[in-house]
Chain A
C-alpha cells in the first residue's frame, strides 16, 4: 500500500471534540452525515476541502479525549488515507487501527499544508515531494499490523475467530 495525497496540517492536542464535536452526537448512528462535519471545530472548511487519499498531519497528542470510535471512523469516511502525528492519545490510536485507518508516529514538524506526500506502509517510509523529506515511522506491534492488514478489528475477528497476537 502506497497512498499518495496532500497534507492538511494541524497543531498539538487535537481532541476528539474537535474531530467529532459533541453537538453532532445525534448523528452517531448516521456516520456518513457526521463525516460532513469532520474536524469542524479545528478547521470549519476541512470537510469541504479534503480530497480522497489526503493525509491529516498533527503535532503531539493527536486524538486526546473521548473513546468515541466515531472520530477515526469519520476521518476515514472523509477519504483520509492516514493520520501522521508526533504522538497519539492511546484510545484514539487503538480505535484508528480497529477501523482500519493507518496512524503513523513520525516527526511532523517540517510537513506543511499542501505538501504532496507518498507513504510506503510496508517499508515504513514517508516521502514529502515538496520539501524533499524522507521520514521514517515507528513500527506497530504485530497484533495491530494484523488487525490493520485484515481491514479492521471486526474483519480480523471474523477471519481468525480470535485476536492474532503474533
Chain B
C-alpha cells in the first residue's frame, strides 16, 4: 500500500513507515507564532521552565494581527514578544513585515517540512508540500521548547481538479465552490491533497490560496505535490537548493476522491455567516456593498493585486463603497509599488494600509458599521469576524471585489475583462501550456 503526501512526510520525520490513524511523536522543523497567540505561548514555555528554544533559527514570531498596535495593551504584548525574541534568538518579523503565512512561505518553509503554527491558517504551507497545521499556544510552546509534537496521521481526501479556468474565475472560486460542496466540517481531521492538471498548471500564488482555505473545510492540512512550480518559487525566493520533488505514491490510499471540473465554473460568493454558504455570482448580483477589502493571507499577493489593478486602473470607485487594501507582505507591497498598482489604487479611491492582517481580525483598520455589507477576499466570514457582529461579510475573489468596488454592489468582473488581455499572463500561459500538451 502506497503513501499519501501526509504519510510520506510524517514517515520521513519518524524514520519509520506510518499509516493514517496512527498517533505519533514527530520532530517539528518550523514553528510560527503571531501577536495574538505568542504571549500565551511564551507564558506557557516559562511555566514549563524551558529557557531555550529547540531551534531558534526556525522559530518565527510575527507581529501581524494588530500592527501597528492600536491599543496600549497590545503595544505591551508586542514589547513582551520583542523582549522574548531578543533573549532567545528567535526569528522576528515586526509590524509591516507582513502576514505570517505569506512571510513564512517566502522565507522559511521547504517541501517535506513539518510546520506547526499558532494560527489556524498555518495550513497555507501545504502549497509548498510542507505538512503545515495550526495548533494552539500550548502545543506550539511545547514544539518550540522540545522540538516535537504529537500528531494523529490523518486520512486523506484526494481532490482532483480538471479543466481550464474560464475568464474571470480563479483558485479562490474553486476553493469557495469546494467548501460549499463539502461543508465547513466536511473534511474535519482529514488531509486534503489537491491534484490534477488544473492544480499542476497553477502558479504558486494560486496554490497558496487553495491550501490557505483547507481549514475552512475543517481539514488539518491542504497539501500539493512539490513540482517544477515549487522549484521555481523557491529559486525566486533564493533557496532553490531546498527543493526536492515530493509526490504521493502511486497506490496511495485515499478515504475519498472528489473530482471537480472548473471549465464551467462561475465566480463564487460565500454569503454570511459561514464559508460553506456559497452561491454562484449570478445569484448574488445586486447586493449593495459598503466596504470592499482586498487583503489577507488568502488573496493579497502580487498576482491578486494585479488582478484587482487591471480592473480598477483609471477608474473611480463607487462613492458609497469604501475600499481597503492590505498587501500580504512588505515584499508584495514594494513589488506593487514598483508595478504602479499602489498609485493606481489610491487614484481609484482605495485606502492602502500597512501589510499585515488589517481589518481581517476585527481589531482595527476597517471595522464595519451595523448592517454594513462587506465584500472581502478573506477566508472566513463568521459573524463578528471583522469586529462587529451586526455587519455582514461576503467572500469572493479579488476580481469580483474589483468589479464590486466600481459598481457599489456585487458585480461580475467578466464585464471588465476581455478574452485577450483579461486575466492576462496567467490564463494565457496556461492555455499555451495546454496547447503544447495536445
Contact = CB atoms under 8 A, between A and B. Distances in A.
Interface in A140-164: 141-143, 152-154, 157-158, 162-163
Given A25-B36, A26-B73, A94-B139, A154 B188 contact: no
A89 interface: yes
Given A28-B36, A143-B150, A158-B48, A61 B77 contact: no
A67 B383 contact: no
Contacts, number: 148
B73 A27 contact: yes
A110 interface: no
B119 to A, nearest CB: 5
A114 interface: no
Nearest to B361: A22
B44 A23 contact: no
Contact of B77 (A28, A99, A142, A162): A28
Contacts of B36: 25, 28, 68
Given A26-B74, A61-B184, A41 B384 contact: yes
Given A18-B383, A141-B152, A94 B135 contact: yes
Interface residues of B, number: 59
Given A30-B73, A143-B23, A17 B139 contact: no
A25 B65 contact: yes
Given A90-B220, A154-B48, A162-B146, A21 B362 contact: yes
B389 interface: yes
**Chain A, interface SS category:** loop
B185 A61 contact: yes
A41 B218 CA distance: 22
Interface string B183-225: 0110011000000000000000000000000010010100000
A156 to B, nearest CB: 9
Contacts of A95: 135-136, 138-139
Contact of A65 (B48, B65, B382, B388): B382
B120 A15 contact: no
Interface in B50-71: 65-66, 71
Interface string A41-65: 1000000000000000000110011
B134 interface: yes
A166 to B, nearest CB: 9
Contact of B389 (A21, A66, A68): A21
B317 interface: no
A41 to B, nearest CB: 4
Interface in B337-371: 361-363, 367
Given A23-B363, A28-B36, A154-B44, A64 B384 contact: no
A88 to B, nearest CB: 8
B184 A98 contact: no
A60 to B, nearest CB: 6
B361 A65 contact: no
Contact of A68 (B23, B66, B136): B136
Interface of B: 23-25, 36-37, 39-40, 44, 47-49, 65-66, 71-74, 76-77, 80, 117-120, 122, 134-139, 141-142, 146, 148-150, 152, 184-185, 188-189, 215, 218, 220, 274, 361-363, 367, 380, 382-389
11 contacts: A15-B383, A17-B362, A22-B385, A23-B384, A28-B40, A29-B73, A67-B117, A67-B136, A69-B118, A91-B135, A94-B136
Interface of A: 13, 15, 17-18, 21-23, 25-30, 41, 60-61, 64-70, 87, 89-91, 94-95, 98-99, 141-143, 152-154, 157-158, 162-163, 165
Given A21-B362, A41-B384, A68-B136, 5 more contacts: A21-B384, A25-B363, A67-B117, A67-B118, A98-B136
